[in-house]
Structure 1
Amino acid sequence: MTPPVSATPATPTPLNPAETAKAEALAAYKGYWTEMPKALAALAIEGTDLKRFAAADALSKAEVSVGGLKRDGQIMTGEPVVTDSTVTSAELEKKTPSVSVSSCLDISKWGIVDKQTGNPAPGASSPVSRYIVVSLLERWDGAWKVLRDELHPEKPC
């Protein structure tokens, strides 16, 4: 006769809270870069989840960009490619936890076109298509939000 098998479930190893926070921040950062092109293509923040992932300066700049594109009869087409996203610093013990994320932003397949003709907008191309972007995220009311992006076209990647 075989002895009975224990029905005690295996207890998962608890994750390191700091690593969990960083992973959540990176997920929000990915969401931000997923929603940003949608807003710039639709010429509206509404109808996207951008407000879920962006606040402060990042959201304000997105709203200004949408307004400028509308005014000029332009839209953004394609999508940026964001790679090598890494948390470069974290202050998780503060009252408002924050992290900085550095990535390589490839805008070679993301551009401004005339809404009527679909032709590239004059002067809309950039001499550098892959460069470093550094973003500040903070945790507000339990959710990570991108507050600010610093584009570094002088730092190709």
Structure 2
Amino acid sequence: MARLDQPGWSTSRAVPAFLALCVVLTAGCISSSDADNEKDKEAQPSVSASPSKSATLDPSEAAKAEALSAYKAYWTEVPKAFAVPAIEGTDLKRYAAAEALSKAEVTVANLTKNGRVMTGEPVVTNSTVTSAELEKKTPNVSVSSCLDVSNWKIIDKKTGQPAPVASSPVSKYVITSLLERWDGSWKVLKYDLHADQPC
């Protein structure tokens, strides 16, 4: 699977518009990024599952539920940032760190530079914890979901018209993500888009 931030990666591959945006704008408009890939060590408010749920779950299941709640919040904040485009004014830094946050910052910078925004939002379904290491010093979980980007469009900010991007027959595909718990808060650290695995 090609990395989103890999320079020179061809957009002729069958990839969804969101993936094409990240690759085209990053490789074509910014040769290097000052985005900070290091972990934001500042303490953040805890992301908690609802009391009614956690009261009936064992500790490991409660932790997984909290991770999935943070994961859902992450996908709520990403489209908010890309619609402005700006990280400020959103809670994205509360739910994303490291590579995931860096990629979002680079995408926001390129959208701004090119006078574009993203309208609509992705739909994330079937989010499942596929593995968990909750006893480690830094607990982590892996999550697999189905990501539907068919209603998430790249728009020219001045004209309001769709921006030209590489087309793809695939708009729903599997995405896998890694989350870690830092200071009591779950954060998405990185993700892999699997355009070859429609869902």
Structure 2-normalised TM-score? 0.71
Counterpart for residue 129 of structure 2: 87
2:60 aligned counterpart, secondary structure? helix
From 141, 144, 150, give the equivalent of 1:99.
141
> 2-side partners of 1:41 and 1:153: how far apart?
23
CA displacement at 1:42 relative to structure 2: 1.0
Change (3 A) 1:124 1:20: same
Please, which runs of 5 or more residues in structure 1 have no aligned partner?
1-11
Aligned length: 146
Provide, for residues 2-35 of structure 1, a one-character-per-residue CA deviation record: whole Å limited to 9, x for no partner.
Answer: xxxxxxxxxx965300000000000000000000
Q: Which has the higher strand share?
A: 1
Q: 1:115 to 1:124 in 2, by over 3 A?
A: farther
Q: Structure 1 CA distance, aligned partners of 2:113 and 2:91?
A: 23
State how far apart, in whole Å, the 1-side matches of 2:89 and 2:56 are. Answer: 37
Q: Which has the bigger relative contact order, CA under 8 A and spacing at least 6?
A: 2
Q: Which stretches in structure 2 are left out of the alignment for 5+ residues?
A: 1-53
Larger Rg: 1
How many percent identity over aligned positions?
71
**Residues in 2 aligned to 1:76 and 1:53: alpha-carbon distance in whole angstroms:** 20
Q: Is the 8 Å Cα contact of residues 112 and 124 (structure 1) preserved in structure 2? A: no
Matched residue, 1:21: 63
2:178 alignment counterpart: 136
One-letter amino acid of the structure 2 residue matched with residue 63 of structure 1 = E
- Structure 1 ranges of 4+ moved more than 6 A: none
